[in-house]
Amino acid sequence: MHIPDGFLSTPVWLGLDVVSLPAVGYVARRARRELEETRIPLLGVMGAFVFAAQMINFPVGAGTSGHLVGSALLAITLGPGAAAVVMTAILGIQAFVFQDGGVLALGANVFNMAFAGVLAGYLPYHFWGPRRLAFIAGGALSVLAGAALAIVELLVSGVPVPRPALLVSSGIFAVTALLEGLITAAVLEGIEKLNPGFIRKPEKTRPRALAVVGLTAVLLAAVGVLFASAYPDGLESLAESIGIADRARTLFATPLMDYEAQFFGSPWMQKAAAGLAGLALIYGVCLMIGRYVRRQRRA
Amino acid sequence: MSERKPVIEVRGLRFRYADGTMALDGVDFRLYAGETVALFGRNGSGKTTFVHHLNGLLRGEGEVTVCGLPVKKENLPTVRRKIGLVFQDSDEQLFMPTVLEDVAFGPLNLGFGAAEAIEVARAALREVGLESLANKAPYHLSAGEKKRVALAGILAMQPEILVLDEPTTFLDPPSQSQLASLLRSLPQAKLIVTHDANFALALATRAVFFEKGKIVAEGSVEEIVERFQWIPRTLREREFTTHQAE
Amino acid sequence: MHHVVIERWSRGSSVLHSRDARIKLLVTLGYLIALATTPGLTLARAALYAVPIAAGIQLGRLPAGALLARAAVVLPFSATFALFSVIAGDTARAVSLVVKSYLSAAAVLVLVGTTPLPKLLRGMELLGAPRMLTLVVQFLFRYLFVISEHAQHMRLAALCRGSGGARLRFRAAAGAVAVLFARSFGRAEGIHRAMLARGFSGETPALPMVIDAVDVLFLIVGLAAALALRVIPL
C-alpha cells in the first residue's frame, strides 16, 4: 500500500521527506563503503528481482493468491542497509514510472517500507538467527510495520477512516502479514538450499542502535494502531488536544509553512516569493543534511 | 603471418574454485598477432574460466602475460584496455540505459573527456554498422544487434586482442553470418570460444580443444572438428545453463 | 510490459522533451507542492490546476487519452478513502483527495513521459541525490524487463506442470522465486564482471547536462504558474 499525493497533510509529508530522503543518502553512502562495488549492480538487479518475483502467485486457498512484498527477504539476504537502498529504489520507480505512491509522499512511503519495514523484517533474524520462526516473524512484522505506519500517517493527516473499515483492514493486514511471513520463510529456505552463502550472517556490530531504531518504529506503529482504533473518529481532535499537531507545526516552524493563514489576502507577489522561498528552503534543508552527513562520515 | 612474439602467453595456469573444484589444471596457450583461434570444449571444461583469467577477472596460479605485461593487480587497467572481452550474454554486457552511453562506458573509464568519449563511441558504432541505434535502449535491440553493440563497446577501447565467449549463442543464422563477416574485417588477434564448428571453420586459423581444465589438442580447425566429432548436425548442443530453469 | 510505453513516450521529441531534466523536475515539484498545500480545494480551482496538465500533454505531444487513463491507477485507492470521507460527512475532503491524487499522478506522467529515466536520474543527481542510489535505480530499470521475462517463463513452466494441491503449488512458487533470486544474483555478478572488463574502477564519470536560456525561462514561467494556481483568489 503506497500513499499517493494529496492524502497527507503538509507537516506529515514534508516532515517525512525531510527525515527520510537525507537518511536514504546516509544509508546509501554507508552501504557503498561497507560493500564491495559488486553491490551496485547487485542492488539494482535485486530490485528488479523483487518486481519480477511479484508476478509469481502463491496460492492461499479459496481461489485467492498472494505475492511476495520482499523487504524482509532483502534485509536477510543483503543486510538491512543495502535492503533499505533497494526498497527506496523500488519505491522511487513505483512513484515515478507506475504512479504507485506519490512523489511528495515518497518520504513517507520510504519511511514506512524501506526503513521501518526493512528493520522490522530484519530484527527477528538479528536476534534469533537463521531459523524458520525468525523468517516468518520478519516477513509478518515488515508488512505490519509498514501498513500500520501508513494508517497512522493517514489518520494524523485527518483522513477519516470509519471504525469498521479500520477493523476490516486490520484483518486484511494480519492475513497479508502472515502470508508474507510464510512466503519469506519458504523462499529463504529454498535460497539456502541453492547456496547457503546467500543468507548473510547477522551482523554483530552495532546491534544496539539497530534494535533501538527498529523497536521504536515497531512500537510507534503498534501504539499508533491501538490509538487509532480506540479513537477512530476523534483522532484528529485528539491529536490536536495532546498537541501532536501543534508540536508538528512548531517542529517544522517556518513562517512559510502556515503562509496560507498569514499571507492570505496579502499582495500576490509576496505570496509568490514566500512560495518560492519555501521550495528553496525544503531543497536547501535536504541538501544540507546530506552534506552534513557526508562530512560526518568522512571525519 | 608474423609469428614472433605472442600477444597472449599462458603458462601452467591452474585455478581451483572456492568449493574445491579444479577448474583449470595446467593450461599452456599462446595467441599471436593477426591470428584467430577457436577454443572448443564441452560444457564445464573450463573455457569461460580460462577466458576470465586473461584480463584478471579471476586469478590463479601460473603465468598469464598480455602484450608482454604480466596480469597482476597493478597492470590490470592496461591489460583490460589491451584485451576486449565480449561476454556470452549481451544483456550482462549492455548495462547502460542507451546504446551510445553503453559504448562510451569503456572510454569514460579510460579517462576520456565526455565529448571525446562520445566521438569514440560513435566511431565504434559506425564500425559495427549500428550508428543509427545510438539513442535506443538496449532491451529494444535484437540479439544480433545486441552482440554487435557489445562488440562496439569493446572496440571503443581500441584493444589489441578480442576475446569472444560463445558469440553465436542466441543468434539466428543471418545474424551469425553478419557477425562472422564483421569479425573477419577486424584486424585484431582473436580468441573465440565456441561450440559452433561452422562459425569456427569460417573464421579461425587454428583451433585448440579444452578438456577437464586443460588443452588436450591443438591443430587446424578441420582436424580438431574431425578428431572430436564436433559436427554441428549431430552435436548441436548449447549452453542453456544461464537460461534454463531445471 | 507496461513501463515500455512510458519509455517510448519519453524518447519522443517536443519542446518539453528538450528541456533540461532538472528544470522539469523542479517545475513538477513546484506544481505538486502548490497542489498539495492548497486548502479546501474547490472544483473551480481543480479546473485551474488541470490547465498545466493539458498544456503539458499538448506541449509534450503526449497521447492524452492514454496518459489520463494511466493516471487513473490512483483512483481505486482515492475512491475508497473518498467514500470514507463522504460517510464521515466531509464531502469537500472527498473531492480534494480524488482530485489531488489524480492530478498529481497526471503531472508526474507528463514529467516521465517527456524525460527518459536516465536523464531524470542524472538531473536528480545534479540536484544532490546520491549517485549510488541513482545508479541502483538505473540498474533496476535496465534489468526490470530482463528479470521479469525470466519470471514470466518460470510462471508459465509452473502452470504447465502445476496441478497439485495448494500446499504443493505454494512450495513450487517458493522454489521458483528462490531460483529467480539465485539467477538474478548470478546475473548481477556477470554484469559486474562485464563492467570490470571495460575498465570500471568504482566510479564512471557521467555525461554533463546543460541548461539553456529557454530552460531558465521555462523554470520561471513554470514556477510562477504553479504559485499563481495556488494563490489566485477565485
DSSP string, C56-76: HHHHTT--HHHHHHHHGGGHH
**What is the distance in angstroms between the Cα of C79 and the nearest Cα belonging to chain A?**
12
Which chain C residues are closer than 8 Å to B106 by Cβ? 198-199
Contact B105 C204 (CB under 8 A): yes
Q: Which residues, at least 6 apart from B57, have a Cβ–Cβ distance to it below 8 Å?
A: B85, C193, C196, C197
pLDDT at A262: 40
> If you average pLDDT over residues C213-230, what whole number do you get?
93
Share the mean pLDDT of chain B: 88
Percent of chain A with pLDDT over 90: 29
Contact C97 A276 (CB under 8 A): no
> If you average pLDDT over residues B232-238, what whole number do you get?
49
pLDDT at A29: 79
Share the mean pLDDT of chain A: 75
pLDDT at C234: 77
Q: Tell me the backbone φ, ψ of residue C57, rounded to 5 degrees.
A: -60, -45
A10-253 belongs to which CATH class?
A: mainly alpha
pLDDT score of B243 more than 90: no
**What is the distance in angstroms between the Cα of B90 and the nearest Cα belonging to chain C?**
10
Per-residue pLDDT of C136-153, as tens digits, reads: 999 999 898 889 888 888
Contact C186 B242 (CB under 8 A): yes
Neighbours of chain B (3+ CB pairs under 8 A): C
Per-residue pLDDT of B72-91, as tens digits, reads: 888 988 999 999 999 998 98
What domains lie within chain B, and their CATH numbers? 6-227 (3.40.50.300)
The interface residues of chain A toward chain C in range 202-241, judged by CB-CB distance below 8 A, are 233
Contact B109 C7 (CB under 8 A): no
**Cell numbers linked to A88:** 527506496
ipTM (interface pTM): 0.93
Which ranges constitute the DSSP H helices of chain B?
Answer: 47-54, 76-82, 90-93, 99-109, 114-127, 143-155, 173-185, 197-203, 221-227
> If you average pLDDT over residues C11-19, what whole number do you get?
93
Contact C196 B52 (CB under 8 A): no
pLDDT at A292: 61
Which residues of chain B approach chain C closer than 8 Å at the C-beta? 52, 55, 57, 77, 80-81, 84-85, 87, 89, 91-93, 95-98, 101, 104-106, 108-110, 114, 118, 135, 137-139, 153-154, 157, 242, 245
Which chain B residues are closer than 8 Å to C118 by Cβ? 97-98, 101
Residue A294, judged by CB atoms within 10 A of its CB (0-12, 13-18, 19+), counts as middle
State the pLDDT confidence band at A138, using cuts at 50, 70 and 90: very high
pLDDT score of A265 more than 50: no
Q: Which residues, at least 6 apart from C88, have a Cβ–Cβ distance to it below 8 Å?
A: A160, A162, A233
**A268 — contact with chain C (CB < 8 Å)?**
yes
**What is the distance in angstroms between the Cα of C202 and the nearest Cα belonging to chain A?**
6
Contact C136 A40 (CB under 8 A): yes
pLDDT at C1: 46
Pick A260's closest partner by Cβ from C30, C39, C223.
Answer: C39
- Between CA A4 and CA C80 the distance in angstroms is 13
Q: Which of C9, C136, C148 best tests the A interface by mutation, with the highest count of A CBs <10 A?
A: C136
In terms of CA atoms, which chain B residue is nearest residue C194? Answer: B93
State the pLDDT confidence band at B40, using cuts at 50, 70 and 90: very high
**What is the distance in angstroms between the Cα of C207 and the nearest Cα belonging to chain A?**
19
Which chain C residues are closer than 8 Å to A104 by Cβ? 29, 32-33, 36, 104
**What is the distance in angstroms between the Cα of B95 and the nearest Cα belonging to chain C?**
7
Pick C198's closest partner by Cβ from B91, B105, B139.
Answer: B105
Per-residue pLDDT of A168-218, as tens digits, reads: 888 888 888 999 999 999 999 999 888 877 877 766 555 555 555 556 655
Give me the half-sphere count of Cα atoms (radius 13 Å) on the Cβ side of residue B86: 30
